[in-house]
Structure 1
Amino acid sequence: MASAEVKVAFVSNHNGTTLTEVSLGSLLAPLCFLSRGLFLIVFHLGKGVIPFSWGSHLLLDFTALIMPLVLSCTALSDILHFVIMGIAVVDLVVLYLIYKNGKHPSVQGSLYSTIDRFVQSRVESNMVPFVTVFRVLVNMKTAISILAVDFSVFPRRYAKTEMYGTGVMDFGVGAYVMANALVCPEARGKDIQGSKISHVFKQLISVWPLVLLGFVRLASVKSSGYHEHVTEYGVHWNFFFTLAIVRVVASALLALFPVDASWLLALLIGGTYQVVLETTGLKSFLIHNNERTGFLQANREGIFSVVGYIAIYMAGVQVGRYLMQSRNVVKDWI
């Protein structure tokens, strides 16, 4: 086989992993972020000077956030469950020691009174920090996976599945769309300025960076001879084009229908698409058709997958609407 064919075969024909492993792996990033926060608390209680210099801060973030995510999808992927359990145990021990060595009343049930004071404490913020953290971690994990997937150290079960199944990278693209939906103007409750048609037109103009990136990637891949897995998105399609179309179509739908009904639109779009797949020849066209003549056939995977991503985006808007509600007490957030 030619070198390009070997590389294509390396990233093709995968069946993914279990939902349990995907769900377990998704716990790693929050645990790493918790570990980073606990380290800062312990350092501060030890009379350490905060904030750090930019170099020390970068080293801390790289060690606590980046390295565990890199190792989890490379050298430590086979013992990921032990890694997560180990980090969780360490975090619990550190949290207990922080509480034990802190100032708290000597009366019976002081732990419960401490927890009660915590959940009743006020949070004065117009932002939702954990949404920002989620979006940052999704971007980091996406970058790591895209760079690592071409190397043998990256487990093949984590790569995108060919037909059926669930891989970590399948979860990743869905999470990326969800992360964008959480902070879209509709989710944040921003009113449409001007007519609905002008609003949709503005959204159409605003996605030009994604379209440009899509064409740049297309041109660079074709000109460099980089190996292509065409059954992922098609011959000419890529995820940048998907993101652009999802944003424009979702904006049009949210201009026509109430934003609070986005959950219903998500169910209708996803359910209708699934019915069409099962009751028509669309599934066979997408999976078993080997012809690549014409733009639609050449890019059928990428074009038709937009429908599913729109459903995910609409669900993300509904989640964003809920998360962006005003809450001033920790108990309300919990």
Structure 2
Amino acid sequence: MDGLGAREKHINFVSNHNGSFPSDIILSTLPAPLSVALTSVVLPLLLPTRYVLLQYCSRIWIHLLIETLTVVCPILLSFTLLSCSTVLNPIILLLLITSLMICAPKWWNLNIPVLNRLFSFPLPGKKPSFLTNYRAGMNLATAICILAVDFSVFPRRFAKTETYGYSLMDVGVGSFVIANGLVGSSQNQAAKAWSKSFPLLLLGIFRLISVKLSNYHEHVTEYGVHWNFFFTLAVVKVAPSLIKTNLRPIVLSFALLAIYELGLKLGLETWILSDYPRNNLISANREGIFSLLGYMALYYASCELGDYIKISRTLFKEWLRLLMVLICLSFLGWICLHCCESLLGIPSRRLANTSFCLWM
């Protein structure tokens, strides 16, 4: 009886959440990019100390210690102990970064001619490091959230929403699809796509079997009776290789969203979110199966953005222009999200509707 009561308490603890506000989610995730900037400032300042210590310990351990303090700790604290001060956390990091930059002697020698020459400074045309930083930060934040969500130190407003709303863990779901799209391609070869998705299929099957055998609590209304997010990621990787077309990825994204949103408004949304019996394979997994259309649209949009980011650039000013374009796209996305909320409704991770894709 006590075990049953504990199980019910745990189910209630991780269920029926409505999320938070977009601004709260953004502020809570700001320490992730700021921590990368902090590391970039701290490492040069500690270079002399690092080389002195090299005779006693290896370089990797010094880097590991520094990056644990400057990358892992800010994100961990922002999601847990310091989650009540989402505005204060990024401000503290910004002040710390600014103070360290002022203290660095190399910044004193910068003058106007040097800054002017910076715009014509050549940069190697390699894979952008900010994509690597984004994916690493996303994986770290996801690991923290998954491990912390079962404990009271993790705010309930950050847990996955039940049906509609904004939450930190919902962002993590969409971010995985975006990360795959940014570095992937909308025209992958089938064999290559299958080889990349096969481990995800195995993970999905392993999770399905282990959850059923252990009788661990599963949220059926999240993806369905048998479906899970590993299957979603696997299908999203394979499906583009099966769709042979000359259309741009962004066109396919808009087309999928239009078709899916029309279906939702014609009754599909009501059926997916209803208590309709799960008496066959499709109805049992309706959330996972039909949300694939939304995640596919998000993947194609990310592929389009990734194609633009991966254009060869050799000058600093070209990367600065890319930054301006990304900022403008962000503002445009916020405007579209506001309009979409008014016309179509608020985001739903469970549906992966148009508002959810724009929010991502």
Question: Shared topology, TM-score over 0.5?
Answer: yes
Cα distance, 1:115–1:27 mapped onto 2, change above 3 Å: farther
Question: Which of 31, 40, 49 is equivalent to 2:34?
Answer: 31
Residue in 2 that maps onto 1:182: 182
* Letter aligned with residue 250 of structure 1: P
Out of 19-28 and 232-241, give the one that drifted further.
19-28
Question: 1:233 deviation in Å?
Answer: 1.1
Residue in 2 that maps onto 1:103: 109
Question: Which of 208, 228, 233 is equivalent to 2:198?
Answer: 208
Question: 1:147 deviation in Å?
Answer: 1.0
Question: 1:67 deviation in Å?
Answer: 1.4
Q: Is 1:275 equivalent to 2:262 in the alignment?
A: yes
Distance 2:150 2:280 in 1: 29
Post-superposition Cα deviations, 1:123-159, rounded to whole Å, max 9, x if no partner, equal 1242211111111111111111111111111111111
Q: Residue 83 of structure 1 aligns to a residue in which SS?
A: helix
Q: Which structure 1 segments of 5+ residues have no match?
A: 105-109, 193-198
Native 8 Å contact 2:28 2:83 kept in 1: no
Post-superposition Cα deviations, 1:255-283, rounded to whole Å, max 9, x if no partner, equal 3234xx111211121122112211x2211
Residue in 1 that maps onto 2:334: none
Question: Which of 293, 299, 306 is equivalent to 2:279?
Answer: 293
* Letter aligned with residue 220 of structure 2: V
Q: Which structure 2 segments of 5+ residues have no match?
A: 321-360
Aligned residues: 313
Distance 1:325 1:101 in 2: 31
Bigger relative contact order, structure 1 or 2, given CA contacts below 8 A and separation 6+? 1
Residue in 1 that maps onto 2:130: 130
1:2-151 map, 5 Å: 2-44=5-47, 48-49=50-51, 53-98=59-104, 102-104=108-110, 110=111, 112-151=112-151
* Letter aligned with residue 87 of structure 2: H
TM-score by length of 2: 0.82
Percent identity, please.
38
Q: CA RMSD in A?
A: 2.0
Distance 1:207 1:28 in 2: 31
Cα distance, 1:290–1:154 mapped onto 2, change above 3 Å: farther
Post-superposition Cα deviations, 1:189-217, rounded to whole Å, max 9, x if no partner, equal xx86xxxxxx3354234411110000011
Distance 1:173 1:119 in 2: 37
Distance 1:297 1:2 in 2: 30
Residue in 1 that maps onto 2:354: none
Question: Which of 237, 242, 251 is equivalent to 2:232?
Answer: 242
